Structure 1
Amino acid sequence: MALRFATPEDAPRILAIYAPYILNTCITYEYTVPTLEEFEERIRNISKKMPYLVYEQEDGTILGYAYAAPHMTRAAYQWDAELSIYMNEQNHRSGVGTILYKALIALLKEQGYINLYALISVPNEPSVGFHRSLGFEQVGIYPHTGYKLGRWNDIAILEYCTQPELGHPVPTKSIHDLPQKRINEIFTATQRVPQTVR
């Protein structure tokens, strides 16, 4: 098993995980599966500054992926990040999601991000429970915000704060500015072999 940064070459395997969420669920509000070229560009753009992680088996199968993106674009929001995670449907509740999210949160904290957000289409108790188990708290809801699959859906806003005391923030770092030693420490500390996917 390996926790690592995604590359554009991973796009076909990551897109294979993501496409069913687009076509069959309200977990993402995209209607159309992006092309492989579009998805490769998304990975490139996110990876310029923020972490984009995959969890891969020895045979090359990607079990899940997680990444962060800017929560909003105005300058005052630069310490905020929005997190996303998608799992191969056979690997829910395997422990892989926890590994991915713990590593993602730790990397973002090292970069200087303070407020981490997850926007979850509800009802979705498994996802809400997963986020709560990792320290997220629900801070609001956008009612009837997204229309998909013939119905209006609410969006729950969950927040994780990386710093117990808020003060004057320093500029955030690019993921590429973190020392490789520190990245390795985070990967080692958060990674384990889940019993159910050995």
Structure 2
Amino acid sequence: MPSEPTEVQVRPGVEDDLEALTTLYNHYVRETAITFDTAIFTPEERRPWLLSHPEDGPYRLKVAVDPDSQEILGYATSSPFRMKPAYVTSVETTVYVAPHAGRRGVGTLLYKALFETLSGEDLHRAYAGIAQPNEASARLHERFGFRYVGTYREVGRKFGRYWDVAWYEKDLA
């Protein structure tokens, strides 16, 4: 008799996750326009990114882990929206799910954990930029209360073509 699938666990990201997180992100760099990075990263190049998301404060990293294999199935972050001081109460959020883990609710679990963690922070708005087309990401963000605010047309060039980015915002206050 097959065993019941174990629930995906969500926890803060830690330094031991760096290699797996880098591999996951590099998939999206190489294969998609979801990120506008165009060159893959080494784990050492990604270390400052990981360290910029501590376990407390407004900039967080949550990872979804298969409890049986300990494989990282995805991650979500909140990061500075812009570097100028007046933007300090705004964050940009993002979620990446391993290609084979899609349609399992991993993104939903990650955003739920991320926004629960952020609820005690001095934050006013969350923003998300979604390279178009990406209906699955738009639906996920709308489920979490994000609303569409506009599109930057042909703002990024990757794979020899231009891509639009739709922007969404969520009230955190």
TM over 0.5: yes
What's the counterpart of residue 34 of structure 2? 27
- 1:2 aligned to which of 1, 9, 12: 9
1:115-142 C-alpha deviation (Å, 9 max, x unpaired): 0011011111111111112211001111
What's the counterpart of residue 68 of structure 1? 78
1:31-53 C-alpha deviation (Å, 9 max, x unpaired): 11111101122101222742101
Gaps of 5+ in 1: 164-198
What's the counterpart of residue 145 of structure 2? 135
State how far apart, in whole Å, the 1-side matches of 2:48 and 2:81 are: 19
- 2:43 aligned to which of 18, 36, 58: 36
SS in structure 1 at match of 2:35: coil
Q: How many residues align?
A: 163
Displacement of 1:96 in angstroms is: 1.4
State how far apart, in whole Å, the 2-side matches of 1:126 and 1:2 are: 22
TM-score scaled to structure 2, two decimals?
0.90
State how far apart, in whole Å, the 1-side matches of 2:84 and 2:118 are: 19
SS in structure 1 at match of 2:137: helix
Contact residue 9 and residue 40 of structure 1 kept, 8 A: no
Higher normalized contact order (CA 8 Å, seq sep 6+, divided by chain length): 1
Is residue 18 of structure 1 aligned with residue 25 of structure 2? yes
What's the counterpart of residue 181 of structure 1? none
1:71-150 to structure 2, matched below 5 A, reads 71-150=81-160
State how far apart, in whole Å, the 2-side matches of 1:133 and 1:42 are: 27
Higher helix share: 1
Q: Cα RMSD (Å) of the superposition?
A: 1.2
Dislocated runs of 4+, deviation >4 Å: none
TM-score scaled to structure 1, two decimals?
0.79
1:4-59 C-alpha deviation (Å, 9 max, x unpaired): 11112101111121111000110000011111101122101222742101011122
SS in structure 1 at match of 2:10: strand
State how far apart, in whole Å, the 1-side matches of 2:42 and 2:71 are: 20
